[in-house]
Chain A
Amino acid sequence: MAFDDTTRAARAPRLSMRTRRALWVWAFLALPVLFYGVIRFYPTLDAFRLSLTNWNLMSPPKFIGLQNYREMFASPDFWQVFRNTFAYLVIGTPISLVLSFTVAYFLDRIRFGHAFLRALYFLPYITTASAMAWVWRWFYQPAPTGVINSVLGALGIGGMEFLRSTTWALPSIMVTAIWAGLGFQVIIFMAGLRSIPQTYYEAARIDGVGDWAILRKITLPLLKPTTVFLVVFSSIGFLRIFDQVYNMTTNDPGGPLGTTKPLVLMIYQTAFNSYQMGAAAAQTVVLFTILLLISLLQLWILRTR
């Protein structure tokens, strides 16, 4: 049916309706097709092209082959940023998933005040990340100002450096990011839990299977698609972390000593502080490649289910 030609269709009056419909279709799609072409596909190709040039906005771009990539992979700064980015991902994702699953699993059994409790956990997710980053930054300040250090001080625990420490700054920022994303994951896990048919549980209970066994043998396996989705979603979120880091380290973005700098902040600085558009484009290609690999991994895992 679909290969009925529009020119042929015009001759027969019965088919002219098909022509008219095709005209409607492309009238509907004209602007969107233009948009996706110009605002999505062209820039993607352009990013690849720019990554092979030495453009710095001053002189016209010159093709330099893979030099940007060679320099990037030879630079210790890049590898530090790479390690930081994966630290956010590799530590942040499991922690946030375990936390959100635990909350969802128990919250699912609560009837009294369910919506209220759920709202408490969900609320941080809809706040403005950059604004809340400043609140957390204030929390992490040294003793008289910072809430956390004041509480620790009252408990007799000495001041923590948090954002000023090369060791603790990254975990401190990561906590902020986990906090901001937790509510979303709780809701998705709860939706996943609800979608498991009650009959499985009833059957298991009649067989005298305990809670722990039900969790391991029924809940978790049936929740796999949800979990995979959240692992991917959360990983992508951590790979693209920017708002929190930028706002919590404005006096030395990505500091102290670059220990909190993620890939996106490096891209931002290379492009819009140093105006090395070519080098920055090469960094975005690296980000793209990692995200692509994660998405493919997700597809592969869900295929072999």
Chain B
Amino acid sequence: MAAADTTTPTTGLPMPRIRPARILLWTVLFIGGMLMITPILFMFSTSLKTAGQIYDLRLIPAEPTFANYIKVLSEGEFFRWFLNSSLVAICVTLSNCFFDSLVGYTLAKFRFRGRQFVFIAILSTLMIPTEMLVIPWYLMAADFGWLDTYWGIMFPGMMTAFGTFLMKQFFETVPDDFIEAARIDGLNEFTIWWRIAMPLVTPALSALAIFTFLGNWTAFFWPLISITSSELYTLPVGLTSFAVEQSIQWEMIMTGAALATIPTLIVFLLLQRYIVRGVMLAGLKG
């Protein structure tokens, strides 16, 4: 142990801080971080270039132009796909916020016969990979006429075990006294959940909402399978078909990719604090 004293004293508390090492560390982390966002920067940069300029690898285009965006949005179905993705992601998110919370609350705050069974059953679905379910879902959707519909994209994700588990964990921290007091006041159980308990778990609820939204916005596998008409494509699936069509017109493909990415970036920039905290919460609890 004592031999370890010879290691660099960069952060040894009793010693005076050595600034140059700190600056070096910061610079290295900064360069690494810039490398991380290089693909995103290049995507935007190229989307602002004309076909003739794409071999010019300058990050800031010589003559930036929004022509690609205008072309993609006016000729393609991107706007439609954008609305489709928004509709699907919003509906699934609302459903998850409602049902995952309701089930999480019920499992956390009621003692009833079969509670443990229901909890274990829901939790065990975490073990089942989506890929195993897509074939039965596809056949089920075909039987019910759900293929190639919005509902067909949405139905498998209307509730998740992850969300239920997350919400249950947080409802357990709500004091029973609050709920008992509301019962004595004569509120019914639904109102107690909705008006008393829900406002106390908003951090968890917002984390759940953000994850569900982003997860469904970027979802690719199931929409690719369940949708065949291009007017019902979600943005990621639409982008793939668009990019395949464009073949080697990279400035157009980058424009499409940028259009698919911008909404997630906006969500991130607006809700950065909640997202990072949410990842920490969910990652540690989940």
A and B are interacting partners: yes
Q: Which residues of A contact B (CB under 8 A)?
A: 1-3, 21-22, 24-25, 28-29, 31-33, 35-36, 39-44, 46-47, 50, 103, 106-107, 109-110, 112-113, 115, 117-124, 126-132, 134-136, 138-139, 141, 144-145, 147, 150-151, 179, 182-184, 187-188, 190-192, 195, 202, 205, 207-213, 226, 229, 240, 242-243, 246-247, 250, 264, 267-268, 271-272, 277, 280-281, 284-285, 287-288, 291-292, 295
Most buried by B among A41, A103, A135, A280: A135
CB of B255 to closest CB in A, whole Å: 11
In the complex, the answer to whether B12 meets A113 with C-beta atoms within 8 Å is no
Judged by a CB distance under 8 angstroms, whether B181 is at the interface is: no
CB of A29 to closest CB in B, whole Å: 6
Judged by a CB distance under 8 angstroms, whether B236 is at the interface is: yes
CB of B155 to closest CB in A, whole Å: 7
Judged by a CB distance under 8 angstroms, whether B209 is at the interface is: no
Judged by a CB distance under 8 angstroms, whether B40 is at the interface is: yes
In the complex, the answer to whether A36 meets B7 with C-beta atoms within 8 Å is no
Q: How many A-B residue pairs have CB under 8 A?
A: 283
CB of B151 to closest CB in A, whole Å: 12
Judged by a CB distance under 8 angstroms, whether B174 is at the interface is: no
CB of A1 to closest CB in B, whole Å: 7
In the complex, the answer to whether A250 meets B240 with C-beta atoms within 8 Å is yes
Chain B contacts for A205, CB-based, 8 A = 12-14
Given contacts A39-B133, A271-B138, 16 further A-B contacts (CB under 8 A): A28-B105, A28-B189, A43-B137, A43-B140, A47-B133, A109-B25, A130-B240, A131-B236, A131-B239, A139-B39, A188-B284, A202-B13, A207-B1, A208-B4, A287-B131, A288-B132
In the complex, the answer to whether A40 meets B29 with C-beta atoms within 8 Å is no
In the complex, the answer to whether A130 meets B131 with C-beta atoms within 8 Å is no
In the complex, the answer to whether A144 meets B131 with C-beta atoms within 8 Å is no
Chain B contacts for A268, CB-based, 8 A = 221, 224-225
Chain A contacts for B8, CB-based, 8 A = 211
What's the Cα separation between A130 and B85 when bound, in Å?
A: 14
Judged by a CB distance under 8 angstroms, whether B268 is at the interface is: yes
Most buried by A among B28, B135, B218: B135
13 A-B Cβ contacts within 8 A? A2-B111, A35-B99, A41-B125, A47-B135, A109-B25, A110-B26, A123-B36, A132-B261, A134-B257, A246-B220, A246-B240, A271-B134, A284-B134
What's the Cα separation between A141 and B253 when bound, in Å?
A: 14
In the complex, the answer to whether A243 meets B39 with C-beta atoms within 8 Å is no
CB of A48 to closest CB in B, whole Å: 9
Q: Which residues of B contact A (CB under 8 A)?
A: 1-2, 4-8, 10-14, 25-26, 28-30, 32-34, 36-37, 39-40, 42-43, 46, 54-55, 57, 99, 102-103, 105-106, 110-113, 115, 118, 121-122, 125, 127-140, 155-156, 158-159, 164, 188-190, 193, 214, 217-218, 220-221, 224-225, 235-237, 239-240, 243-244, 248, 250, 253-254, 256-258, 260-261, 264-265, 267-268, 272, 275-276, 279-280, 283-284
In the complex, the answer to whether A144 meets B159 with C-beta atoms within 8 Å is no
In the complex, the answer to whether B122 meets A36 with C-beta atoms within 8 Å is yes
CB of B202 to closest CB in A, whole Å: 20
CB of B233 to closest CB in A, whole Å: 12
CB of B219 to closest CB in A, whole Å: 9
In the complex, the answer to whether A29 meets B118 with C-beta atoms within 8 Å is yes
Q: Which B residue's beta carbon lies closest to that of A122?
A: B276
What's the Cα separation between A2 and B114 when bound, in Å?
A: 9
**Contacts known (A110-B26, A188-B279, A243-B220); A22 close to B42, Cβ less than 8 A:** no
**Contacts known (A126-B264, A211-B11); A240 close to B239, Cβ less than 8 A:** no
Chain A contacts for B244, CB-based, 8 A = 250
CB of B169 to closest CB in A, whole Å: 15
**Contacts known (A39-B156, A138-B253, A205-B13); A128 close to B264, Cβ less than 8 A:** yes
Most buried by B among A44, A184, A210, A295: A210
Most buried by B among A127, A212, A213, A240: A127
In the complex, the answer to whether B135 meets A277 with C-beta atoms within 8 Å is yes
Chain B contacts for A126, CB-based, 8 A = 214, 264-265, 267-268, 275
In the complex, the answer to whether B139 meets A130 with C-beta atoms within 8 Å is no
What's the Cα separation between A191 and B207 when bound, in Å?
A: 16
